[in-house]
């Protein structure tokens, strides 16, 4: 059996494609969260943590010979994952009085503050996903007030849509410890201390001004 020297988002997605599995089925097969699989689709250069590398190794070993052959054919062909081009993410910019809700994501070797977000699957709407993912990640219930727009993210190449949302209820807590380190309400005026201004979609800054 061939050995994979290191897994990244692209190779993980190619394995999913070779196995002909949905994101939910692949997450269960690898024993990770669906959000983790979504991260591989949205950030193909991302490098999973060592413990997740081991889980992907084990998943590859469990794959049938035909699936492993398909994986290597896809990899040798330099094929990108087809779904990545159509991959859509919904972001929730949740406000409570003068504060905005952020989550601190685990990266390859770093941490980064972001707005709650989730994958928009076929048949779903971005506004609904933004609300549901905020609750799933942080325990905060919110309601979308306004769609701020969408863009192809300059770093990941993924189509991202942004929704401004109002806080309804719930204490902010980290409910996804696999992906996040911390959840916090931060003053709107301090947002650029957590996320560099050049990385923030301009309509967000206008809405929070």
DSSP-assigned letters across all residues of 128-172: HHHHHHHHHHH--EEEEEEEEEEEE-TTT--EEEEEEEEEEE---
Specify the 3-state DSSP secondary structure of 105: strand
> Could you give the CA distance from residue 151 to residue 31 in angstroms, rounded to a whole number?
32
Question: What's the mean pLDDT in 48-62?
Answer: 93
Asked whether the predicted pLDDT for residue 175 surpasses 80, the reply is yes
Phi, psi (5° rounding) for residue 104?
A: -100, 110
| pLDDT for residue 51 | 92
User: Pairing mode, if any, of strands 99-106 and 180-187?
Assistant: antiparallel
Question: What's the mean pLDDT in 69-83?
Answer: 66
Phi-psi label, residue 176: left if phi above 0, alpha if psi -120 to 50, beta otherwise: beta
Asked whether the predicted pLDDT for residue 83 surpasses 70, the reply is no
Phi-psi label, residue 64: left if phi above 0, alpha if psi -120 to 50, beta otherwise: beta
Q: What is the pLDDT of residues 88-129, one digit of tens each?
A: 899 999 999 999 999 998 875 667 899 999 988 878 899 999
Q: Are 106 and 114 in contact (CB under 8 A)?
A: no
> Could you give the CA distance from residue 79 to residue 4 in angstroms, rounded to a whole number?
17
Question: What's the mean pLDDT in 8-34?
Answer: 90
DSSP 8-state class, residue 15: H
User: Pairing mode, if any, of strands 117-119 and 99-106?
Assistant: unpaired
Specify the 3-state DSSP secondary structure of 1: coil
> Could you give the CA distance from residue 148 to residue 107 in angstroms, rounded to a whole number?
26
| pLDDT for residue 145 | 96
Percentage of the chain surpassing pLDDT 90?
56
pLDDT band at 45 (very low <50, low <70, confident <90, very high): confident
């Amino acid at each position: 059996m061939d050995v994979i020297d290191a897994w990244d988002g692209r190779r993980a997605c190619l394995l999913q494609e070779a196995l002909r599995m949905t994101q939910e089925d692949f997450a269960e097969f690898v024993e990770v969260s669906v959000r983790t699989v979504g991260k591989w689709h949205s950030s193909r250069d991302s490098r999973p943590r060592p413990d997740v590398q081991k889980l992907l190794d084990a998943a590859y070993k469990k794959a049938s010979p035909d699936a492993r052959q398909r994986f290597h054919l896809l990899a040798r062909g330099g094929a990108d994952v087809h779904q990545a081009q159509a991959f859509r993410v919904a972001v929730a910019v949740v406000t409570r009085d003068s504060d905005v809700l952020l989550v601190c994501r685990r990266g390859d070797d770093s941490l980064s503050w972001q707005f709650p977000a989730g994958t928009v699957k076929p048949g779903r709407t971005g506004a609904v996903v933004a609300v549901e993912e905020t609750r799933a990640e942080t325990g905060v219930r919110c309601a979308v007030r306004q769609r701020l727009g969408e863009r192809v993210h300059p770093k990941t190449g993924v189509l991202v849509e942004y929704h401004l949302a109002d806080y309804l209820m719930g204490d902010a807590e980290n409910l996804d410890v696999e992906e996040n380190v911390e959840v916090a309400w931060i003053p709107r005026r301090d947002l650029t201390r957590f996320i560099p201004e050049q990385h923030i979609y301009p309509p967000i800054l206008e809405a929070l001004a």
